[in-house]
């Protein structure tokens, strides 16, 4: 139903676990569950959903009782390893509540630049999406030598969107229940909508394919996103 | 309009919601709509009304759970999916009703369970007890043990039997169209909605052929048949569009939404015309 050129509408969702946590780093599970319900609903409507979520280091540090995030590189990687397990467990738990199956994908920068790895990753994604599975993606911090969990995971979101040729980048507001819908194939600025209008507006954007020229893949860099909190 | 004025006074209500309301065209659940439905029913319960929900959807949920793209045609496979899906469906209802502090209970019925007098009286007692405890019973056909696909055949008929069993005052059938039309509104521009039916004549039944969704099991014809069953038992029936569940609030305020079938037994003090 929600299709572009006969393909399901492909949506990459940017989530920051920080935005779902209180200042002490405790995850607000009610907020997370709400978000998962909304995404499950979009998935049920026939869209393909890919989640890019940060949060491994924060969850790992919390679990190990650290008072603040580590600054040392090796320490960060260790916390990411601990926290990633936690992160995927939480997503799995809540998505399962809404009858969805998730898969964990950890990517490095390398996978994005090396053509062969890129092709592998692309194949994996398309297999998962074909099987109606929601990939939950994060940076593979434990083996990355650089760029450890940037403050903002938008570069990773952008890479994933390019890799899978997504139609939409959906960004959950850090501060409230709103979302920004960014047509991924264009330089068109995103539109900000609330939870209630999300399904309808996404379908609308998909319907206005010609308006947004999805064929010419120009992915918006950060510009207008910085102001969206 | 005098019949509509009586609707707000009705206390025990059976609401039937079909696949076309609960699900997207691919059969997967529309969670945001279910959430709204749970909110509306919880509100009615808080007002002191007793609501029974008759809900389809288990096969689609089961298919989703197993990652199947299409619903199977094979009966045994459908029953297997219903078994998987019903557990999931009731969990999801529980979750959404929980948010409004409303308890729900699952009741699965078969046709012989409603015809056989002993099990009928058991079902009657169970439902009465649940209603008196302010719990919302969520009823479905027990697909996994139904020996034939067509026992009730569709939940429209099941919901009429349930309404009769619990001596409900109103049956609300949520559909994907506004109500009964004088002709198929998709084909005929002059088609108009009929807001009130005081007698289910052959002409009325004729209007029901053709209209209805292609995905759910019931169409308008099974809804008219359900209204007919209720008519005999003195129960009014309303057919309306379930796309926006708050319409249930509107119709219970006596607003002229959907098609109201006034039971002959409720017309004795009125001149029907």
DSSP class per residue in A12-68:
EEEE-GGGGB-TT--B-HHHHHHHHHHHHHHHHTT-EEEEEE--HHHHHHHHTT-SS
Query: pTM for the complete prediction?
Result: 0.83
* Percent of chain A residues topping a pLDDT of 70: 79
Strands (E), chain A: 3-4, 7-8, 10-15, 48-53, 101-107, 133-139, 168-172, 179-183, 191-193
| CB contact (8 A) between residue A44 and residue B64 | yes
Question: For residue B25, which residues of chain A lie inside 8 Å, CB to CB?
Answer: 1, 46
B234 at A interface, C-beta within 8 A? no
Cβ-nearest to A98 among B26, B31, B69: B31
Angle A160-A161-A162 (CA atoms, 0-180°, nearest 5)?
90
d(CA A137, CA A131): 17
Walk along chain B (273 residues) in steps of 10 and give the mean pLDDT of each run: 89 94 88 96 97 91 79 81 89 95 92 80 92 95 66 81 96 94 82 92 80 52 93 96 96 96 82 53
Question: For residue B91, which residues of chain A lie inside 8 Å, CB to CB?
Answer: 97
Cβ-nearest to A97 among B24, B67, B95: B95
Confidence of residue A24 (pLDDT cuts 50, 70, 90): confident
d(CA B144, CA B166): 24
Which of B31, B66, B85 would best serve as a mutation to test chain A binding (most A beta carbons within 10 A)? B31
pLDDT at B159: 95
d(CA B106, CA B90): 7
Question: For residue B26, which residues of chain A lie inside 8 Å, CB to CB?
Answer: 1, 44-46
**C-alpha pair distances (Å), B73 with each of B55, B81, B99, B113, B158:** 21, 11, 36, 26, 22
Give the list of residues 6+ apart from residue A18 with CB closer than 8 angstroms, or none: A54, A55, A58, A174
Nearest CA in chain A to B94: A97
pLDDT at B153: 63
d(CA A184, CA A13): 11
Which of B19, B23, B57, B64 would best serve as a mutation to test chain A binding (most A beta carbons within 10 A)? B64
| CB contact (8 A) between residue B91 and residue A40 | no
The average pLDDT across A161-190 equals: 83
B166 at A interface, C-beta within 8 A? no
pLDDT at A176: 79
B255 at A interface, C-beta within 8 A? no
Angle B81-B83-B89 (CA atoms, 0-180°, nearest 5)?
90
Mean pLDDT of chain A: 81
Cβ-nearest to A44 among B30, B67, B88: B30
Smallest Cα distance from A46 to chain B, Å: 7
State residue A107 phi and psi, 5-degree precision: -115, 145
pLDDT at B73: 80
Q: What is the total residue count of chain A?
A: 229
Residue B165, Ramachandran bin (φ over 0: left; ψ between -120 and 50: alpha; else beta): alpha
What secondary structure letter does DSSP report for A226?
A: G
Question: For residue A1, which residues of chain B lie inside 8 Å, CB to CB?
Answer: 24-26
* Ranges A2-11, A23-32, B136-145, B235-244: which has the least confidence: A2-11
Confidence of residue A211 (pLDDT cuts 50, 70, 90): very low
State residue B84 phi and psi, 5-degree precision: -70, -45
In the three-class reduction of DSSP (H, G, I as helix; E, B as strand; rest coil), residue B160 is classed as helix
Give the largest CA-CA distance in chain B.
56
Size of interface A-B (CB pairs under 8 A): 47
A5: pLDDT strictly greater than 70: no
């Amino acid at each position: 139903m929600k299709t572009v050129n006969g393909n399901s509408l492909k949506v990459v969702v940017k989530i920051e676990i920080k935005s779902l946590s209180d200042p002490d780093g405790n995850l607000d599970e009610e907020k997370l569950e709400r978000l998962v319900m909304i995404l499950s609903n979009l998935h049920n409507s026939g869209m393909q959903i890919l989640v890019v979520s940060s949060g491994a280091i924060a969850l790992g540090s919390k679990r190990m009782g650290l008072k603040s995030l580590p600054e040392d590189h090796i320490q960060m990687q260790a916390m990411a390893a601990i926290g990633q397990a936690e992160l995927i467990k939480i997503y799995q738990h809540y998505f399962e509540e809404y009858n969805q199956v998730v898969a964990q994908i950890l990517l490095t920068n390398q996978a994005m630049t090396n053509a062969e790895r890129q092709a592998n990753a692309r194949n994996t994604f398309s297999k998962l999406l074909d099987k109606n599975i929601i990939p939950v993606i994060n940076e593979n911090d434990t083996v990355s030598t650089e760029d450890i969990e940037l403050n903002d995971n938008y570069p990773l979101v952008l890479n994933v969107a390019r890799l899978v040729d997504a139609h939409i980048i959906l960004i959950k507001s850090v501060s409230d229940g709103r979302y920004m819908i960014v047509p991924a194939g264009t330089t068109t600025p995103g539109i900000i909508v609330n939870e209630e209008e999300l399904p309808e507006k996404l379908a609308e954007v998909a319907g206005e394919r010609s308006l947004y020229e999805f064929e010419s893949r120009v992915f918006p860099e950060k510009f207008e996103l910085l102001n969206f909190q | 309009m005098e019949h509509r004025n009586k609707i707000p006074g009705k206390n025990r209500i059976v609401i039937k919601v079909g696949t076309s309301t609960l699900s997207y065209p691919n059969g997967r659940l529309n969670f945001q709509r279910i959430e709204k439905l749970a909110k509306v029913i919880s509100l009615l319960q808080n007002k002191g009304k007793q609501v029974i929900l008759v809900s389809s959807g288990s096969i689609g949920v089961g298919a989703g759970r197993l990652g199947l793209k299409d619903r199977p045609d094979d009966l045994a496979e459908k029953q297997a999916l219903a078994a998987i899906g019903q557990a999931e469906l009731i969990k999801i209802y529980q979750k959404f009703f929980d948010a409004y502090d409303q308890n729900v209970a699952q009741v699965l019925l078969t046709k012989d369970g409603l015809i056989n007098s002993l099990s009928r009286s058991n079902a009657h007692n169970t439902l009465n007890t649940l209603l008196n405890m302010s719990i919302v019973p969520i009823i479905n056909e027990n697909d996994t043990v139904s020996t034939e696909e067509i026992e009730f055949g569709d939940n429209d008929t099941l919901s009429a039997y349930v309404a009769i069993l619990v001596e409900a005052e109103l049956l609300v059938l949520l559909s994907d169209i506004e109500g009964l039309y004088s002709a198929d509104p998709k084909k005929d521009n002059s088609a108009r909605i009929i807001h009130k039916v005081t007698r289910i004549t052959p002409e009325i039944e004729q209007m029901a052929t053709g209209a209805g969704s292609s995905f759910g099991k019931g169409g308008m014809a099974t809804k008219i048949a359900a209204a007919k069953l209720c008519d005999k038992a003195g129960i009014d029936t309303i057919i309306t569009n379930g796309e926006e569940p708050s319409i249930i609030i509107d119709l219970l305020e006596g607003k002229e939404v959907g098609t109201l079938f006034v039971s002959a037994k409720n017309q004795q003090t009125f001149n029907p015309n």
